[in-house]
Structure 1
């Protein structure tokens, strides 16, 4: 049916490419482009021979002119951005110049500031509308599926949703004293930033990891979780009517937190450049270089993830609670795709969101967050492509 240009070739991209090849009825052709072409070639060698044609290219995703030239050469129907969040705007500029639909999994973030906001990408709305192309923001799991879950809950179970708690539990064990399950630079910036939540029309800011709760996760059990700022709160607060409060919680092990606090105390998580023997280095980028590569964690990781949303609101004038979630097994994900569940839960929705644009089901010129579209076709595809969802009525609530 069409061609996708996938920019980036890490663990998430590996899953998304695998799933695109499985879904060959939609994806006739894939071009994989990354700064390191050898990574793309290795994935091509792994998956070549199926119905989907795979080509590779080298690209610097910060170079708008090079991106435009690549898109003009490959002529994809959709560009799927699985590069770093710092590169979102350069790829969006290239899509505008070539009038090509755009999908990503994480909002733009300035390289020199740990700031998770949609304002930079939302500023492109009018330009994308005039170009007649669609930008789908945040088609991962969180953000991504959590937004689809919210739209689905509103459509089928509520007249208005007043409270949303997004819970992200990774109970996987990789055996290392300290490692991150996705890009260490992005992960550590996210965790060490101030927390925040949306309540009564305004942001309430907290110290990093200040608010802690314990929750009994289905199929996993009790885990400590901590309130973080997360980008989907910003869009859901605008797009889901009746909202009074939205919070995001993520679980961390004591080992992870103890190591992180130590690294933070000695300055290794800083994003401010320092001079070391005449060279400018960013401590966090150096730390990333010495930590285990998340792409290597797959064969070591055991256990499950549970990511979902607890909704409270009203239906026919009565109070109602509803819990939508997915449970994913690290070992099963690795057996299927060679990646652990954290990459899997992002890569599968990235493919599905791209498919929604490719098939025209979600075609709408402009820049849109995922909850702005009809959730039903996406929810159907989650069950088909490896992320079946479960629901619970009257669930345990987070106090």
Structure 2
């Protein structure tokens, strides 16, 4: 029995709010706010049509802390679910502290003027949340989020310790567009064009973006080229599993995506510093994001599957020596669209956001302070994945995967 306030009205928010409405026994009162209220109203109308549940909507600038505080006090939620942009994490956390309410997000903070995302800014809030008796849960999406939970489930049930870890994110969907991103274009391109980093022998190793490539045969998708890049769960997974010798993150990209992105970089359209145009300052990447197809519009045309998982090698719990396990989820773009009106990339983030929120409001995950997914018991979360559209499978491999 809980009231929740969701901030943001993109595809992930749409999925999360739809799934909350489908679990009315957990989320009894759902409120949705974003900078553009019409987007909230469209989500609310879809939710009403599909589930019969009413969602209250509001207009809010999430970076305006006093306005956020006023909205939180008006709604009186037990939890604020931040599905806005990563730039807005800190002001929303500030508002939650002032209003005295728990906080959840799916992506860690990054400054607007630097493509650098890490947890230090949010971890610095730990003492303030603890002193206030509040809980903040970071990164309850798929990656980060489910991949972290997958890792900890393996460590609880299969491996005493983990020596090597590889996270593999494959989107095998085809949306029919020449170039489009499956989540916020600005965030997507900032991630992809940032230098790659992986964890090896106690330190971060940095390599140029999109230069380390491998091939992997993904079930229900096929063999795809995967590129090593940095992703935030590498930071939290290695922090809470210090025995890991090597941890890497891989994401698949098609040749057309790489070709278009290379051209856009070469002509300066991925820049995040302001440039003068007709007497006004604009950010090229923000302008590019404005002209690209909106991710939430891709659901109807996207066909195929996603396949996201973790391969971990380490000492087996049963004392049988070193073993390798692969745990993953396969999600259909068509099935995701049929259920929520959104494609699978939004679905695979929005469902875990709902589950993380359910863990908190039900009291299954509790604490005072700022927490990452790795610090929580993976079992109830894993059970809800199976029950709410993201079933997982685990299998033992013959040995470590050598990329």
Match of 2:198 in 1: 197
Structure 1 Cα separation of the partners of residues 46 and 304 of structure 2: 26
In structure 1, C-alpha distance between the alignment counterparts of 2:94 and 2:101, rounded to whole Å: 10
CA distance in 1, matches of 2:236, 2:26: 29
**Counterpart Cα distance in 2 of 1:52 and 1:23:** 10
Q: Summarize the alignment of residues 89-104 of structure 1 with structure 2, pairs less than 5 Å apart.
A: 89-104=90-105
Q: Deviations over 1:320-368 (max 9, x none)?
A: 1000000001111111110000000000000000000000110101101
> Partner residue of 1:310?
311
- Matching residue of 1:342: 345
Residues 121-179 of structure 1 show CA distances to partners (whole Å, capped at 9, x for unaligned) of 00001111101111000000000000000110000001101111000000110111111
Count, aligned residues: 399
1:225 aligned onto 2:229: no
Distance 1:346 1:364 in 2: 23
TM-score using structure 1 length: 0.98
- Of stretches 339-348 and 38-47 in structure 1, the one that deviates more from structure 2 is 38-47
SS, match of residue 88 in structure 2: helix
Kindly report which structure 2 residues correspond to 1:52-91, keeping only aligned pairs within 5 A, or say none: 52-91=53-92
- 1:391 Cα deviation from its structure 2 partner: 1.0
The equivalent of 2:30 in structure 1 is 30
SS in 2 for 1:27: coil
- The alignment's TM-score, normalised by the length of structure 2, stands at 0.97
Q: Secondary structure at the match of 2:3?
A: strand
Contact 2:325-2:397 at 8 Å conserved across structures? yes
Q: Note the C-alpha offset of 1:51.
A: 6.7
The question of whether the paired residues in 2 share the 8 Å contact of 1:168 and 1:307 is answered with yes
Q: Deviations over 1:205-251 (max 9, x none)?
A: 01001110000111221100000000000000011242111100000
Question: 5+ unaligned residues in a row in structure 2: which ranges?
Answer: none
Match of 2:20 in 1: 20
Structure 1: state its 5+ residue gaps.
none
- The Cα shift of 1:46 comes to 2.1
SS at match of 1:308: strand
Runs of 4+ in 1 over 6 A off after TM superposition: none
Matches within 5 A, 1:164-183: 164-183=165-184
Deviates more, 1:341-350 or 1:290-299: 290-299
**2:401 counterpart residue number:** 397
Aligned to 2:207: 206
Deviations 1:17-71 (A, max 9, x none): 0000001110000110011111111222222375744211110000000000000
> How far 1:277 sits from its partner (Å)?
1.3
CA distance in 2, matches of 1:51, 1:300: 26
CA distance in 2, matches of 1:248, 1:163: 12
Match of 2:358 in 1: 355
1:328 aligns with 2:366: no
CA contact (8 A) 1:151 1:240 kept: no
Contact 2:138 2:373 in 1 (8 A): yes
1:269 counterpart SS class: coil
